[in-house]
Structure 1
Amino acid sequence: MLPRAGLVAQAHTGPEGRKAVARRAGGDVRVWFDGEEAKDPDRRAAAALVSDAYALFLLGPMLLVTGGWGAPRSVALEVGGAGDIVVGGRPFACDVLRGRMAPGLGLAASDRVALFLDREEGLMRRVRFSLDGMESTRGAVAEVDAYDHLARHGVRWPTRFHERLLRPLQMPVHDWWVTGLDVDRGFAAADVEGGAFRGKAAAPAAALA
């Protein structure tokens, strides 16, 4: 992530090969599979949606109050009640901020969002959001729990996540966790925008203890 450049870059390796994504906030998205750039709208839209959503899960309110991660974004939130929730096996009393952000996640013109902020520590414990960035997901609603926070570089980062779908049907989606984290490694956009991480971006992040 390069906040000032409004850039999120991702590199995935799995049984089906390599995938790389470079997403500019409010603008372009490029995606490569095994080094070959995909030009079709569906895969580009999916990559933009996932990139924006993962930035929201990790950064929470920080992403929204900074004006949209390098691009103008209108975010209108208001207190929309309270909620007692259980996240990671722990109960939390939360205030809920509900509203709309425009543009939304991925290529959506706007999305609805609800942030569950725990009253004791002010951390985002849950985020609920619409998925209007793709034709195939339009009308769907999902939520992600964020927990097991660690303090690094002056920020308390969530390291565990659980995602579930609420609409059109209720079902768990997946669990994932942060295994490494670096801040200010010194790489530039050119190191992550060409389909593979290079230079100072190439090494794995420092493992979390």
Structure 2
Amino acid sequence: MMRQSVLATLLAFATLLSGCASFPPTGTNARFDDGLDAAAIFEACMAAHGGDLRAYPGDINLSTDGHWFGLIQKIQPIVSDAGFRVTSEERYRPRDGLYSVHHEGPLGTKQVVRTPNGIAVYYNGKRESDPVKISATAMTNDAFQMFHFGPSFFKARATAMARVADENENGRTYRRVLATVTPGFGESSQDQVVLWIDAQTSRLFRVHMTLNGFESTQGAHVDTTFLDYRNVGPFLLPVRFHERVRGPLRIDAHDWHTLGIDLDRGWTAADITGAAFEGAATQAAERLQ
């Protein structure tokens, strides 16, 4: 009986390892007949999303809810932090790079304050000093800025772009751009991200990324697919997401969706840079209709 259990475990593990997507992707020497280079494809994507968020003078406020899959919680408990990261309220002011997130989960609250000068993390109102937790949080916080605010993240951080082979999925063609992001996510000096851009709409469909900013994720790569979008003010923002680990294992990791979005509350830096939101930042984002 024990031998059968061991064999079943080994077979399951082999299944997880099989078919892992490669990174960097194949097709870096592909030739194209449409006359479009990486820069042209990316600029069309920026335009489709409403332009560069960094030029926006106001604030952007999001509410999200999600679900972590069981295996990722076991493999990466510090990165997923699923005891605290289930729902979130996010406050972002693009013009000066202020980004603060209030998470809630079964173990309580987690507040993350990201400024151009650093990061502060609070669990249940108490500031965290563990460098391992702070490192993991810096990586995931940067990644979620990218997920939620799209091409503007690459406009700010991509130091090189190259077109790689197109992909077809479910009858649609996606042009792919390999971006080198410097600095990378969290404490990484550099990461790479493949942008899948819909050939018809120029919308960002998927990002496939390395995770060099945390010791236990170095060498791993994941992708996140944007399953739905909503027009908000002048911008097109994603509102439904599915994240998968693609290597060295191949598993589902995280589903989440946007519950609410609103703009221009006029909160101050002091309202979002402490252990909890204050003032105009406190109210939940306006529910999507």
TM-score (norm 2): 0.66
Alignment of 1:39-50 (within 5 A): 39-50=129-140
Unaligned runs of 5+ in 1: 68-72
Question: Runs of 4 or more off by more than 4 Å in structure 1?
Answer: none
- Is the 8 Å Cα contact of residues 58 and 157 (structure 1) preserved in structure 2? yes
1:121 aligns with 2:201: yes
For 1:6 and 1:176, the matched residues in 2 are separated by 24
1:172 aligns with 2:252: yes
Give the counterpart letter for 1:36 in structure 2: K
**Higher percent of residues as strand:** 1
1:56 aligns with 2:56: no
For 1:202 and 1:92, the matched residues in 2 are separated by 41
Q: 2:121 maps to which residue?
A: 31
Deviation at 1:145, TM superposition (A): 0.1
For 1:182 and 1:82, the matched residues in 2 are separated by 35
- Is the 8 Å Cα contact of residues 259 and 288 (structure 2) preserved in structure 1? yes
Q: 2:211 maps to which residue?
A: 131
Q: Secondary structure at the match of 1:176?
A: strand
For 1:37 and 1:6, the matched residues in 2 are separated by 21
For 1:80 and 1:60, the matched residues in 2 are separated by 19
Alignment of 1:103-114 (within 5 A): 103-114=183-194
Bigger drift between 158-167 and 186-195 goes to: 186-195
Q: How many pairs does the alignment contain? A: 198
Q: Secondary structure at the match of 2:163?
A: strand
For 1:97 and 1:30, the matched residues in 2 are separated by 33
For 1:33 and 1:79, the matched residues in 2 are separated by 42
Alignment of 1:183-194 (within 5 A): 183-194=263-274
- Is the 8 Å Cα contact of residues 223 and 243 (structure 2) preserved in structure 1? yes
Q: Structure 1's 74 and 158: CA in aligned 2 closer, same or farther, altered over 3 A?
A: closer
* Match for residue 224 of structure 2 among 126, 137, 144: 144
- Is the 8 Å Cα contact of residues 2 and 189 (structure 1) preserved in structure 2? no
1:81 aligns with 2:165: yes
**Higher percent of residues as helix:** 2
For 1:158 and 1:12, the matched residues in 2 are separated by 19
RMSD value, Cα: 1.2
Deviation at 1:182, TM superposition (A): 1.1
Deviation at 1:74, TM superposition (A): 4.5
Give the counterpart letter for 1:44 in structure 2: I
1:4 aligns with 2:95: yes
TM-score (norm 1): 0.91
Give the counterpart letter for 1:154 in structure 2: P
For 1:121 and 1:9, the matched residues in 2 are separated by 31
Deviations 1:140-175 (A, max 9, x none): 100000121111102111110000001110000010
For 1:145 and 1:126, the matched residues in 2 are separated by 4
- Is the 8 Å Cα contact of residues 110 and 132 (structure 1) preserved in structure 2? yes
For 2:234 and 2:265, the matched residues in 1 are separated by 16
1:155 aligns with 2:245: no
Asked which structure has the greater RCO (Cα within 8 Å, sep 6+), the reply is: 2
For 1:117 and 1:139, the matched residues in 2 are separated by 24
Deviations 1:28-71 (A, max 9, x none): 11100011100111111111111110111112212211x2xxxx
Unaligned runs of 5+ in 2: 1-91
